[in-house]
Structure 1
Amino acid sequence: MQHFFSFRISKKHCILIKKHITKALCISLLIFHSCKDGNQNATEVQVEQNSHATLSYAKGFQIDNYGDFKILKVSSAWPGSTKTFKYLLHKKGSPAPDSIQADAVITTPISSIVVTSTTHIPALELLGVEKSLVGFPNLDYISSEKTRALIDAGAIQELGQNEAINTEKAIDLNPDVVVSFGVEGENKTLSSLQRAHIPVIYNGDWTENSPLGQAEWIKFFAALYDKEAVADSIFNTIETQYNNLKEKALKATNQPTVLSGAMFKDVWYLPKGDSWAAQLVADANANYLYKNTSGTGSAALSIESVLNTAQKADFWIAPNAFESYDALANTNDAYTRFDAFKNKRIYSFASAKGATGGMLYYELAPSRPDWVLEDLVAIFHPELSETQQPHFFYPLD
């Protein structure tokens, strides 16, 4: 099910990294003692230069840089994951240290990649490496005009449906790496890729709870292309714009009340108070009426309960896939009882679609939380915003 707090097209529907100095030192010593004589001095210098990638918001991954190689650790590949995956990234021309026990070994910079979520597409484009994408499951989900042009040119191959990736086609493409995701555990369908010696790595961007935490996963992809400096610059710009918008919103003299979500069958699903969606509303200086519900997932409520709490909400954000007031009214007459319906203050991202029907929000919003916040500030506090074309959120027809 898709709603405001979910960026995933299918099932995947979102602080500083602790510096383990002692562990890093132990790894360094193992690496030093395992090196060949000819490279011993160079490796000793690299170990001394070990450093962590600067991560300010993302909690689900960590990068340790040893010069000629890096260790990418993913500790949140799916919600509730207790396994930390370790990936060894070593530069071309440099041997991979055989003392490191890794789930995958990758030579960088990579030149070809298969990704499995539309949320991965913007990171590739922002880094300027979209031409390295050779395969994707269900190409119709991709909305970006730049990547769609590559699809139309035959540069990107169709690989099936979501988690059920066509592994035979993927093996024929022989990419340098496949970036996957897990929902409740490891994706067993990818084992055949690993047996074919194609590295498979997990990306858990969607498990992050903060908007900037999701955006910071661009550094995960940057490590594969040796483009860390580029990623730092891009993320710093997004972070600055986000925080500037947050400060601007605080100048508003009112704090409107906000409802989100809609019903699926007879159950109303909406984001809980610890979710990134709730944080976005708070950062836009609005009062999300379910901010005190604990958890990061979705709350399942009855229509009677939602009417009791939010019937008089000033705004209604992201009513699932609804694009018009008529569609809401025709689906359930109870929707017409909300003040936001009566006052025409409902906003949806459902109408912002790519050429083949994929929703731009699910693809791009995780990488550009500053654009999401800009939309919300313009909706909640129009007196603070200049007239602009929305990025994602449009008023219902």
Structure 2
Amino acid sequence: MTFVSFCFFYLYCMKKNQFLFLVVIALFISSCNTTPKATETVTQPDTSLSYAKGFHIEKKENITLITVTSPWPEAQQPYVYALVPKGSNIQKDTYNAVIEVPVTTTMATSTTHIPALEALNATETLVAFPDTQYISSERTRQRIESGKITDVGMNENINTELLLDIAPEVIFGFSINGQNKAYQTLERSGIPVVYNGDWTEQTPLGKAEWIKFFAPFFGKEKEADSIFKTIEKSYNSAKDLATQTAEQPTVLSGAMFKDVWYLPGGQSWMAQFITDANGAYLWATNEDTGSLALSFENVYDKAQQADIWLGPGQFTSYEQMSSTNSAYTDFEAYQKHKVYTYSNTKGSTGGLLYYELAPNRPDIVLKDIIHILHPEITPEYEPFFFKPLE
């Protein structure tokens, strides 16, 4: 889990106790009007995924199979979902769920699901969400405030009675280990839960490509492919632009939580952003894909002279940092006011837009970081997520 992911998980845990991290080994299948056995049809492997590793899609005649292999870290089995046309007589058989598509009512369980639904123009299907206060998107907040989206409690303690009354056709679930009892209750009652594991992806474009996971539920595969190609092109163009400078500023990330400094592993998605922005992440040679837990002394020895400090936890100002731990002031990036945070970019209810939108729009994150590391390349650019500490 990356440091950014850790912060996301920590907030989610505080809310549910939540801001956890998402969900899913999903396999969906969009179907046929007959009832063929899986062994009787020819499987057509999906070749449209270029970066995402945690799921894949196959076609079996009129059935779309979505297999989620990474709903959470170290998952022991895949989850396979069959998406079938309305009115199909397909038995659950060996699938984790059979869902008739296109669906018209859904429940999402992570704020990272919201941008994908909005991009696919499927927001009107969203009828329930746990702890709606954490949603920042203005478009979806309008639906919440008009009563079109019902708050059903916290993700680990969902109000199942209320949700059974709402009866969404599918729940896009998030779980860190598959032990959510509320999900089990809902599944027994006939409401399918499909796990979304976008948060387990280790690359920026891998996370963003999960928009293709949502698309078959709404019959919008072509739209998803077009949206992702635009993001991919934007990301790679920015990456190419960053190579125009030979300078590679050194980068520190993370902050202390109690007595431990959490920062991105060398193979994490945040480390990839820094590398693609032509920066020198000081832990780039580390092999961890999640976050590192280090002592203050270890970080200080290596990063006291770092040029840039990117993502200092939840800190929003220099004063807040120094009052929490005066040792932060010993870092050159702090002294030179080269600390940049995503924690000052908030929605109307206080939720951090970074946690909601960044996994879906890695191109914006990359452009922010390129501007911070190489302002001479994009002098007119206005960062969206990462901004100078106040």
TM-score, normalised by the number of residues in structure 1: 0.89
Structure 1 CA distance, aligned partners of 2:378 and 2:370?
7
What are structure 2's unaligned runs of at least 5 residues?
Answer: 14-19, 23-34
> 2:125 maps to what in 1?
132
Say whether residues 1:59 and 2:53 are aligned partners: yes
Following superposition of structure 1 onto structure 2, how do residues 181-192 of structure 1 map, counting pairs within 5 Å?
A: 181-192=174-185
Structure 1 CA distance, aligned partners of 2:43 and 2:201?
29
> 1:76 maps to what in 2?
70
Q: Indicate the SS of the match to 1:107.
A: strand
Amino acid in the other structure paired with 1:296: T
Q: Indicate the SS of the match to 2:112.
A: helix
- Out of 276, 282, 287, the residue aligned to residue 294 of structure 1 is 287
Q: Give the superposition deviation at 1:100.
A: 4.3
Q: Give the superposition deviation at 1:29.
A: 8.1
> 2:301 maps to what in 1?
308
Amino acid in the other structure paired with 2:4: F
Amino acid in the other structure paired with 1:325: Y
CA contact (8 A) 2:251 2:279 kept: yes
Structure 2 CA distance, aligned partners of 1:386 and 1:68?
51
CA contact (8 A) 2:12 2:21 kept: yes
> 2:83 maps to what in 1?
89
1:67-88 deviation per Cα after TM superposition (whole angstroms, max 9, x unaligned) = 4211110110100111100111
Q: Give the superposition deviation at 1:145.
A: 0.3
> 1:227 maps to what in 2?
220
> 1:118 maps to what in 2?
111
> 2:201 maps to what in 1?
208
1:207-230 deviation per Cα after TM superposition (whole angstroms, max 9, x unaligned) = 000010000000110011110000
Amino acid in the other structure paired with 1:70: T
Higher mean C-alpha deviation, range 197-206 or range 180-189: 180-189
Q: Give the superposition deviation at 1:186.
A: 3.6
> 1:257 maps to what in 2?
250
Following superposition of structure 1 onto structure 2, how do residues 336-351 of structure 1 map, counting pairs within 5 Å?
A: 336-351=329-344
Amino acid in the other structure paired with 2:57: I
Structure 1 CA distance, aligned partners of 2:96 and 2:43?
24
Structure 2 CA distance, aligned partners of 1:369 and 1:90?
32
Q: Give the superposition deviation at 1:48.
A: 5.1
* 1:154/1:173 CA distance change after superposition, 3 Å: same
The root-mean-square deviation of aligned C-alpha atoms, in Å, is: 1.9
> 1:335 maps to what in 2?
328
> 2:27 maps to what in 1?
none
Q: Indicate the SS of the match to 1:383.
A: coil
CA contact (8 A) 1:5 1:276 kept: no
Amino acid in the other structure paired with 2:77: K
Amino acid in the other structure paired with 1:295: D
Say whether residues 1:10 and 2:12 are aligned partners: yes
Q: Indicate the SS of the match to 1:4.
A: helix
1:44-63 deviation per Cα after TM superposition (whole angstroms, max 9, x unaligned) = xxx45834151000000011
> 2:347 maps to what in 1?
354
Structure 2 CA distance, aligned partners of 1:86 and 1:99?
10
Higher mean C-alpha deviation, range 3-12 or range 81-90: 3-12
Structure 1 CA distance, aligned partners of 2:184 and 2:259?
39
Following superposition of structure 1 onto structure 2, how do residues 160-199 of structure 1 map, counting pairs within 5 Å?
A: 160-199=153-192
Q: Give the superposition deviation at 1:292.
A: 1.6
Say whether residues 1:322 and 2:288 are aligned partners: no
1:338-377 deviation per Cα after TM superposition (whole angstroms, max 9, x unaligned) = 0000110000000101111100000000000000001000
Structure 1 CA distance, aligned partners of 2:229 and 2:59?
20
Structure 2 CA distance, aligned partners of 1:334 and 1:175?
51
Query: How many percent of aligned residue pairs carry the same amino acid?
Result: 48
CA contact (8 A) 1:159 1:165 kept: yes
Structure 2 CA distance, aligned partners of 1:303 and 1:31?
55
What are structure 1's unaligned runs of at least 5 residues?
Answer: 15-27, 34-46
Q: Indicate the SS of the match to 1:94.
A: coil
CA contact (8 A) 2:66 2:81 kept: yes
CA contact (8 A) 2:106 2:172 kept: yes
> 2:364 maps to what in 1?
371
Structure 2 CA distance, aligned partners of 1:211 and 1:159?
31
- Out of 267, 273, 276, the residue aligned to residue 274 of structure 1 is 267
Pair member with larger Rg: 1
CA contact (8 A) 1:30 1:99 kept: no
Q: Give the superposition deviation at 1:293.
A: 1.8
CA contact (8 A) 2:2 2:268 kept: no
Following superposition of structure 1 onto structure 2, how do residues 23-34 of structure 1 map, counting pairs within 5 Å?
A: 30-31=37-38, 33=40
